Structure 1
């Protein structure tokens, strides 16, 4: 199979219905396996599967802890809900994690829970957070990306007066270790979000499942990039694929379809409970065979 760029594989461990030590064990193991290049958490405040009153960890806090206890993996949240934290606060959090990790952060961000999800509003109402309509949320995301990048790169305080965010004397210090800033990954599939991706993202992530829809969304992103004069190839295509322990062949097939569709950043979602040596299993059963195909 000819490839224009190397395919980089990673794992995602949803920090819900698990213990901290479970996630830490998997990340430490993955950190020793070169085939696994990146690792991810998600960003929810209440469970969205399993026991709805079960345990769930705050993503950025957990990510910082894991950053301090790994050495090689690139890491991030797939993806941060822009609805949860003001962008200047988020920029500060992310810069801290980039420093803690030694410059390994991939900054994942998105609009937040889609309104059609049956549990979308629950975690916002439970934490006193507003849940605005989609148009508001997309506009807020675009402004947030602008603010966050400026806080990471500006040498002087600045004011920002947007429709959704207003800052006076905004300044970020210390800066992230990565220059000019950590790579920005934006997740989503809606057309309005893809326009924000075209403007701001270094990587774009979409959940797998319907590969034909994924291909259509990627083509739409190409179009939006062309409209604003950006090379579509400058945005790395990333996809999240669920892992089946019982049917690894189905997962390998999904990986092959994604690679054929131009996706070079593969995030493999490993479900809990995590088997012993699960990271090694992922490398041996899923990544190595797919890389050789």
Structure 2
């Protein structure tokens, strides 16, 4: 049975707009998960418009919902040191009483015309791809260890260097929150094969998504992991004016093996938008009238 969620990009919106949608969704059982994204400056619309920091907003929304699983689709590993990110995520898992899905990826792709802007504006380094992928692999290892190891440890990698690393309190979920890795490149898929419980890819080119999923299968087989142990997730954009088109995209994605579906809601959000999503887009795939 497919599992459906929503994504509200926290840019060009007011906090109370996002809160309204999440609170509404929290009361609708067909919507199982809700997501934000992770950018520091807008990547669309007014480039000087409002945008909220993802993890801070996620913690606030987690405190004001009760049922939804919550997460960022996906955290940029370039923005925060991994030990700090492990602490932030553990805090959100505690605040949410164990409802965090930990989404993470390499970070903004260099080809995006606005990719470097938010790094320069916040004094963050924008390393080349090899560095970014290597540090991402080490981050996944370190974060998992911080969530599970009961004593401080040292870690001396090529990109991450820690002395006396320790995370207390631990996340509520055991052994740790599900790790959702987003990305489509071969190096990222290799990391997903090792670390992910869920793999997410943006929709738009389903044939490519299917090819990437098959490549993930191959990488799992190479390390002796059952490919079926990684849930396949896809992000699909919603059009309020063309629900038939969205339903067709959902049906095609589910038919291709993507059973974790994230529906991206454009702003401004109409009144009762979560109920509309449940009625018009989700219910037909759950056997509801």
**TM-score bracket for this pair, using the shorter chain length:** over 0.9
Instruction: Provide, for residues 42-84 of structure 1, a one-character-per-residue CA deviation record: whole Å limited to 9, x for no partner.
Output: 0000000000000000000000000000000000000000000
CA distance in 1: counterparts of 2:117 and 2:173, whole angstroms? 36
1:16 equivalent in structure 2: 11
C-alpha displacement of 1:289: 1.2
* Equivalent in 271, 281, 286 of residue 281 of structure 2: 286
C-alpha displacement of 1:290: 2.5
C-alpha displacement of 1:292: 3.0
1:26 aligns with 2:12: no
* Equivalent in 139, 147, 155 of residue 144 of structure 1: 139
Q: Secondary structure at the match of 1:53?
A: coil
1:60 equivalent in structure 2: 55
C-alpha displacement of 1:205: 0.2
Instruction: Provide, for residues 90-147 of structure 1, a one-character-per-residue CA deviation record: whole Å limited to 9, x for no partner.
Output: 0000000000000000000000000000000000000000000111111111100000
CA distance in 2: counterparts of 1:138 and 1:171, whole angstroms? 24
1:41 aligns with 2:41: no
* Equivalent in 175, 191, 197 of residue 180 of structure 1: 175
Q: Secondary structure at the match of 1:160?
A: strand
1:101 equivalent in structure 2: 96
Over the aligned positions, Cα root-mean-square deviation in angstroms equals: 0.7
C-alpha displacement of 1:257: 0.7
C-alpha displacement of 1:19: 0.1
Q: Secondary structure at the match of 2:134?
A: helix
1:258-277 matches, within 5 Å, as: 258-277=253-272
CA distance in 2: counterparts of 1:265 and 1:84, whole angstroms? 26
* Structure 1 unaligned spans of 5+: 1-5
Q: Secondary structure at the match of 2:199?
A: strand
CA distance in 1: counterparts of 2:170 and 2:103, whole angstroms? 17
Q: TM-score, normalised by structure 1?
A: 0.98
Q: Secondary structure at the match of 1:186?
A: strand
Moved more, 282-291 or 53-62: 282-291
1:239-250 matches, within 5 Å, as: 239-250=234-245
2:217 equivalent in structure 1: 222
CA distance in 1: counterparts of 2:185 and 2:223, whole angstroms? 18
* Structure 2 unaligned spans of 5+: none
C-alpha displacement of 1:291: 2.6
Q: Secondary structure at the match of 1:240?
A: strand
CA distance in 2: counterparts of 1:139 and 1:225, whole angstroms? 19
CA distance in 2: counterparts of 1:202 and 1:137, whole angstroms? 21
CA distance in 1: counterparts of 2:209 and 2:196, whole angstroms? 17
1:3 equivalent in structure 2: none
1:107-256 matches, within 5 Å, as: 107-256=102-251
Q: TM-score, normalised by structure 2?
A: 0.99
1:70 equivalent in structure 2: 65
